[in-house]
Amino acid sequence: MWGLDHRGAPLRWDACEPIRLVLSEQGAPDHAVRDLTAALMVLRDATGLDLQLLGTTDERPRVDRPLVEDDGTGWQWRPVLVAWAQPGEGGIALTTLDRGVALPVSVRDGEQEAYVTGQVVLNAARTDLIDGFADRRDAIGATLLHELGHLLGLAHVEDVSQLMSTDPGSGPVVLGAGDLAGLRAIGAQSGCNPAPPAEAGRGLSPGRHPRPTDHHRQGG
Ligand SMILES: [Zn+2]
């Protein structure tokens, strides 16, 4: 149900630090902040993780996005970038039919291994998608929940009643029992999981690190 770290445990974020996100405004629909905020609230409740939307940015997604930045006080892992992009932009593996793609980045430094940053890119060309959470297959809110689930460490499941199914079924957007169990396991109940120091990310690019990627095609 998730990737494993070098200890054989579910690979996850540090549950004792905020997970910071920024939204790229360019190409994002008017309801992007509302849907993203709602999705983050659902995931905060399900995981106990402190998911924080810091604000908006003009940064654009790219496959080789740097992992760290020096904010004047020292090196930091960069906030997760959430963006709407056209297929092919920035070298991101997003095809015409995908709803979105999640690119969490994990880093290991000795015994420390954790997700530290990442990108969630929704397909700006899928103008058929609707706002809110009314339908699992076609709603932006459902797509955000699913992709953010990947960002937090969940993989696909076969059961179409779960939002982490490769191709979620139709109907109102709710997390299934399996979704919730998975989110709890990678959440606060599992305790801290200190991330490597951000200095370890200098000079690294996500393109040189194997990481889960995700492709969502319109279901038949
Ligand atoms: Zn997926």
Gap from CA of 150 to ligand 1 centroid (Å): 7
Structure tokens at 58: 């003009």
User: What are the residue ranges spanned by the domains of the chain?
Assistant: 19-199
Q: What is the predicted pLDDT for the residue at 207?
A: 54
Alpha-carbon gap, residue 162 to 21, rounded angstroms: 25
Residue 83 alpha carbon to ligand 1 centre in Å:
16
CA 92 from chain centre, in angstroms, equals 14
Ligand 1 centre from 108 Cα, in Å?
24
User: What is the reported pLDDT for 42?
Assistant: 97
How big is the chain by its Cα radius of gyration, in Å?
A: 16
Distance 145 CA to ligand 1 centre (A): 10
Q: For residue 156, how far is its CA from the centre of ligand 1 (angstroms)?
A: 6
Count Cα neighbours of 128 within 13 Å in the Cβ-side half-sphere: 9
Q: Between the CA of residue 130 and those of 2, 76, 115, 148, 219, what are the distances in Å?
A: 28, 35, 30, 18, 16
For residue 68, what are its two tokens?
């760290």
Q: Which residue has the tokens 């690979």?
A: 11
Q: How far apart are CA 98 and CA 76, in angstroms?
A: 31
The pLDDT of residue 209: 45
The alpha carbon of 161 and the centre of ligand 1 are apart by a number of angstroms equal to 14
User: To 10 degrees, what angle do helices 140-152 and 177-185 make?
Assistant: 40
Give pLDDT tens digits along the chain (220 positions). 678 899 999 999 999 999 999 999 999 999 999 999 999 999 999 999 999 999 999 999 999 999 999 989 999 999 999 999 999 999 999 999 899 999 999 999 999 999 999 999 999 999 999 999 988 888 999 999 999 999 999 999 988 889 998 877 777 788 999 999 999 999 999 999 999 999 888 877 765 444 444 444 333 2
pTM reported for the whole predicted model: 0.92
CATH class of 19-199: alpha beta
Ligand 1 centroid from CA 164, angstroms:
6
Instruction: State residue 160's pLDDT score.
Output: 86
DSSP 208: G
Coil, strand or helix at 40: helix
- Please say whether the beta carbons of 140 and 31 come within 8 A: yes
The Å distance, Cα 102 to ligand 1 centre, comes to 8
